[in-house]
Structure 1
């Protein structure tokens, strides 16, 4: 990771720094770990099914479109693909579903499902290896067993999924294009088989009409998109809230056991036209989170700011309410951990968030891959609302099964 502080380049050794990490893996109950892993292939299938229902996506996000310019542009591209009857026969998804253990209910609850630019498969794999290596050398002194740190093959299986998608495209001279921030990269005259979006989830990634034209051209092309515009929309906060409504999962899935497993991990979710949720948040804002339709961290609203924002939105008019959803705030149990940042180790009370990666590849009726490649554990000080690693709030961690 690069150090962008003012010291970088002026003091020897600070131009590059290690990624922030926990010194030891975080204890995590094995039965919750298995539950999260079992959910992954079901969520993979759900995203694929939702992506094929254009009417559901357009209808669910219709009110959001009126007040959120970014979502509106994405929906416009999606609508044009529907109009020209653009089919995505080969569909690739590289997802990550994030969870926390709620101390009060004892439930593993989903925070969100990421369908675009699911970050840290590489670093999470390395941290898991680091912790296993540390415990193999010092585990006896600590009373810890390195075998209880689960293996993590997220980066290799993500790469395998991209390679398999390229193979399904069936053109040996084609290439895989990765869309990154901030500049574009020229790929010459090659045919593009797969486009992987490591960027494109934020309005900041579209500073001009050129970027929107590029996104439209990619979507209209025959390349396999990861994600396609429909997969991208299927991962929005509003769709997460819609799927949590009674009888909506049944629209996409038939297996009753799978539906029950998904529903068990859903936290409380409300649209802002739901009086029950809004009234509850006005009375006790500390137990809710107000979420806009944004990815990338740093956008959610907590505590007393929830009430203040709701008042402003209500004064602005009913349409403005559609830009947000309300979510039950999850309160994990805190624990003491050693955190390492910029070469310094310190102790603090922390909470953790578990992300489970999913890889899904389908060619028409054939499911080529539906896997749970690995995981991402992020640990942050318990006093912090935000949890981004790159933003400096959290550190990378791994799991120690108990």
Structure 2
């Protein structure tokens, strides 16, 4: 697991490289809107990135890429299985209002009769490379970890607003540029060059648009009122345009849809005179994205329409942590996949998952966590970063709700111990420093299908996110992590 170059760099060399890096990022659209002016495209800043690509074992990278199609298929089959989702979530929705709202939309539309049989999944499966040794011990010792002993451990599967495909596709060229500036042309080939993430996602959108079957219909990108990450979304739009310039993308907020969207008598979604073929949601994954009951009614309107949703309410529910925990139980994967090799390949990536439902099983999990909170992560049913609970905070939270039904809104997961690498982290407005870092690898997939048929199952591209060791949460847009590229070893 050696870094791609001996570190630290000479100070003068580092200063010059950072200057070149920032200019490259700004020149090539690797940018975000600023925190101070999140609704303005007149002021931007570079995305947070690592100066160098980070080492990733080639065998584990290829393993993650190799199972993604089966992950896509698995999540699709869960999303269209009403009974399974109910069994997973019936207790969660008693105490989690956000998940309950989603369930009520899904249940309502299922009972009414789904207007659009086609589903579009734009997914990202996230993994850490587990070496089995806590970061605190790695940082204090000179222990050597053989990359062949490391395990791929799934953190989650993002089925809702799987971001950074657009920026990540371009980042590999940035890191190639940096390696060339360091006269390391012979190592450039160790950065993967296969299909980019934005191209994978765009292929999924285009396929779904073609199956919608209406010339002149549009793709709706549903975005936040203040969207700092708009350029990542624009890069995806441009990839779609490259595939078919006849496909028009419109960007609207939930409020726009509420005020100007409507369903025709035959359930077609129309906004500002445009018929919508695809609703691609880059928001609505957090409770804060809904300000009123009217917002939830608009989400129901979208679900009732003939537009192909990405994600549908079923897909959104399939990505909950409770479903992830249930999937880790013996015999559950076999309900959705038939290939024994595919089943075992996915199961091999699972970390330990524990139910916190009231009863003996949940009580045992609570006791484990209270006795040794550093060993686990406490997860609510949320996406987007900043939600998980770690360390002594687990003991505090579980003590508050130990005998309460509230605890069923969470799951407990074994803590993953990623290997340490060194890298320079480049955040806007902060000094560039050398850190001990850990990384999370995301693999993208696109899926189009009905409950009975697979139209497209495609994968490729990656998003590597790297953060300083000791930082519990992840997420680039939330300010915890930097975008990175894998340097395959």
Answer yes or no: is 1:239 the counterpart of 2:323.
yes
CA apart distance, 1:364: 6.2
User: 2: CA distance between counterparts of 1:109 and 1:352?
Assistant: 12
Indicate the residue corresponding to 1:308 in structure 2: 396
CA apart distance, 1:2: 2.1
User: 2: CA distance between counterparts of 1:144 and 1:100?
Assistant: 27
Offset from partner CA, 1:177-197 (integer Å, 9 cap, x none): 111112444531222111101
Indicate the residue corresponding to 1:394 in structure 2: 481
CA apart distance, 1:125: 1.1
User: 1: CA distance between counterparts of 2:95 and 2:345?
Assistant: 34
Residue number among 284, 296, 299 corresponding to 1:212 in the alignment? 296
8 Å Cα contact 1:158-1:373 kept in structure 2 = no
CA apart distance, 1:134: 2.6
Indicate the residue corresponding to 2:125 in structure 1: 97
Return 175-184 or 280-289, whichever deviates more: 175-184
Indicate the residue corresponding to 1:296 in structure 2: 384
Indicate the residue corresponding to 1:3 in structure 2: 34
Residue number among 438, 455, 466 corresponding to 1:379 in the alignment? 466
8 Å Cα contact 1:168-1:363 kept in structure 2 = no
Q: Secondary structure at the match of 1:95?
A: strand
8 Å Cα contact 1:70-1:203 kept in structure 2 = yes
Structure 2, unaligned runs of 5 or more? 1-31, 133-148, 226-252, 261-270
- Evaluate the alpha carbon distance shift between residue 78 and residue 364 of structure 1 in structure 2; reply closer, same or farther with a 3 A threshold: closer
Residue number among 165, 169, 178 corresponding to 2:221 in the alignment? 178
Answer yes or no: is 1:146 the counterpart of 2:146.
no
After superposition, residues 156-305 of structure 1 pair within 5 angstroms as 156-182=199-225, 183=253, 184-185=255-256, 187-273=271-357, 274=361, 275-305=363-393
Indicate the residue corresponding to 2:103 in structure 1: 75
Indicate the residue corresponding to 2:173 in structure 1: 129
8 Å Cα contact 1:60-1:242 kept in structure 2 = yes
Residue number among 153, 156, 161 corresponding to 1:112 in the alignment? 156
Answer yes or no: is 1:26 the counterpart of 2:54.
yes
TM-score, length-scaled by structure 1: 0.93
Q: Secondary structure at the match of 1:38?
A: helix
CA apart distance, 1:282: 1.2
User: 1: CA distance between counterparts of 2:428 and 2:106?
Assistant: 43
CA apart distance, 1:206: 1.1
RMSD: 1.9
Structure 1, unaligned runs of 5 or more? none
User: 2: CA distance between counterparts of 1:50 and 1:87?
Assistant: 19
Q: Secondary structure at the match of 1:332?
A: coil
Q: Secondary structure at the match of 2:156?
A: strand
Q: Secondary structure at the match of 1:145?
A: helix
Indicate the residue corresponding to 1:325 in structure 2: 411
Q: Secondary structure at the match of 2:91?
A: helix
Q: Secondary structure at the match of 1:4?
A: coil
Q: Secondary structure at the match of 1:352?
A: strand
User: 2: CA distance between counterparts of 1:329 and 1:335?
Assistant: 18
8 Å Cα contact 1:302-1:385 kept in structure 2 = yes
CA apart distance, 1:144: 5.1
CA apart distance, 1:87: 5.6
Answer yes or no: is 1:51 the counterpart of 2:69.
no
Return 29-38 or 268-277, whichever deviates more: 268-277
8 Å Cα contact 1:39-1:262 kept in structure 2 = yes
